[in-house]
Amino acid sequence: MLIESLATEDISQVSSIQPEGWQPITPSFQFYLQSPFCFPLKCTIDEQLVGLGATILHNQTAWLAHIIVSPAHRNKGIGTQITKALIQIAEKYYCKTILLLATTLGEPVYAKLGFKKEMDYIFLQNGKVEKQSDQVTHSYDETYRKSILKLDRMVSGEDRSKILIPHLTNARMVIHDEKIGGVYLPTLGEGLVIAENEKSGIALLTERLSDKSSVALPTENSTAIAFLITQGYSEFLRGSRMYLGEKLSWQPTKLYSRIGGNLG
């Protein structure tokens, strides 16, 4: 078993271990290869790709993402070894907190390595929402760039500006008294929605759901979950947010749609 950096020439093999039910993983690994703050790894046995993973750095925090082992090679400790290698990368860059979102299958693996469960993410689908007529959303205005990045730092507890900035020009915003109430980034992952208040959050979540059938939310955001249930949405899956190191100070009640399983 060999664990080493993923290379550009490996990208054609990535889809060979695509997990059933996941979004296509090849675009994510292409992004990791192109981004200097991302460190994708591969695991091979006899030159055959059997596992993948990536570390994503945000200054003092890191996310471990897309930790995948092909079905034929599970229960051999490969996932554990990939995770250890990813942790070493984060520690090399002095990250105080390492985060991940775990499937039911992966949670026991991460727990053995010292990760602690913080909360569940709930996945809801198959409802229909009505546009919130009392909330007007606006296209992106460069005037609010700093305010959007500040709002995300407050909500996430992280400096994710490298991830957000390329998507700001497509942003939808709610503005109150010339201040940001919330923002929706439709081209970032699953469509990030963060908001300072409930009305802004629900308005932007409604806009996001106009062309998407499902959403993942931290269970702490009971307001958004209760709203979606009244709109006919139902739970179909859960995942665990876990951390290693210092527990991050963040505000899950202000997260109305996550970026994805790789970034929270």
Element at 89 (helix H, strand E): helix 78-92
Task: Compute the distance between CA of residue 192 and CA of residue 227 in angstroms, rounded to an integer.
Answer: 18
Instruction: Please provide the DSSP assignment of 235-262 as one string.
Output: EEEEEEEEEEESPP---GGGEEE-S-TT
Q: What is the share, in percent, of the chain residues with pLDDT greater than 90?
A: 89
Task: Compute the distance between CA of residue 48 and CA of residue 33 in angstroms, rounded to an integer.
Answer: 20
Instruction: Decide: 61 and 98 in contact? Cβ < 8 Å.
Output: yes
Q: Which residues of 191-200 are buried (b: 16+ CB within 10 A; e: fewer)?
A: bbbbbbebbb
Give the pLDDT confidence score for residue 244 in this predicted structure. 98
Among 239, 165, 169, 227, which Cα is nearest to 202's?
227
Three-state DSSP class for residue 173: strand
pLDDT of residue 52 exceeding 90, the answer is yes
- Tokens 């290698």 map to which residue? 85
Contacts (Cβ under 8 Å, ≥6 apart) of 130: 206, 231
Convert the pLDDT of each residue in 101-117 to its tens digit: 998 888 999 999 999 99
Q: Where are the beta strands (DSSP E) in 105-228?
A: 116-125, 138-139, 172-176, 179-185, 192-195, 214-218
CA angle 23, 125, 136 (to 5 degrees): 100
Task: Compute the distance between CA of residue 2 and CA of residue 29 in angstroms, rounded to an integer.
Answer: 19
Give the pLDDT confidence score for residue 133 in this predicted structure. 57
Q: What is the mean pLDDT of the chain?
A: 95
pLDDT of residue 190 exceeding 60, the answer is yes
Convert the pLDDT of each residue in 10-49 to its tens digit: 999 999 999 998 889 999 999 999 999 999 999 999 999 9
Convert the pLDDT of each residue in 133-149 to its tens digit: 567 889 999 999 999 99
Give the pLDDT confidence score for residue 136 in this predicted structure. 81
Higher-pLDDT residue of 176 and 145 is: 145
